[in-house]
Structure 1
Amino acid sequence: MPFSKLSGRRLIAALAGAAFAAALATQAAASSSQAGTISAILPLRHGVVLFNHSGSRTATPACHTIPGRWAIDASTTAGQAALSVLMSAYLSGKQIAVLGQGNCSSHSDTEAVEHFVIVD
């Protein structure tokens, strides 16, 4: 039934259901990785930092085309904090496990990092 024919509670229920389905679809596309080492850290001029990670990974979003690579937007305060921790892990030789955002919002062919955990 088109939304234009819905009213009141039915419209709210339909919109809530659509929003819930969209949230599930976004989460389903996000990938995660097992523990692995960090390599090939590449800062780009627009504030994004790309890095490679050796941990095996679940399915990636369709936009992601380079295996093992992740992106952090270091132009934000949160991204700068994440980059600082990433560099500490790298310089200490620690492994990390990564969870992605399910999109390539920071760099067109690389999944953006949601968060990561130092494993070692």
Structure 2
Amino acid sequence: MMMMTVMIIIISRRRRRKRRRRRRRRRRRRRRRRRRRRRRMTMMMMMMMIMRGITLRRSMFLFIVGIVDDDDDDDDDDDDDDDDDDDDDDDDDDDDDDDDDDDDDDDDDDDDDDDYDDDDVIKL
């Protein structure tokens, strides 16, 4: 009887050791896999952020250029509005002046398109 109990105890200890080793191996594998996944994800995220940053820079730059152009045009319009207030009697002449200004703005827009080509403005 004693021999049986000793054998059972020894066998059970071996099984426990094997189970522990297996668990440790599984945990290590899981950790390694998780680390690899995290690294891959961080690399992917970094690449995505870099690409997004590049596109954001491009769009922001073009957006800022557009705002600057709009602000310049608004300043010119404000000056014309001040002149209009002084000459209330000549409403017909003011309308003609506005038409002339619009024609000039159209010419400027064509020039701006040539100045701000994507290839010329931003090179990465």
- TM-score in terms of structure 2 length: 0.29
Rg (Cα) greater in structure:
2
Give the strand-richer structure, 1 or 2. 1
Bigger RCO of structures 1 and 2 (CA < 8 A, at least 6 apart): 2
- TM-score in terms of structure 1 length: 0.30
Give the helix-richer structure, 1 or 2. 2
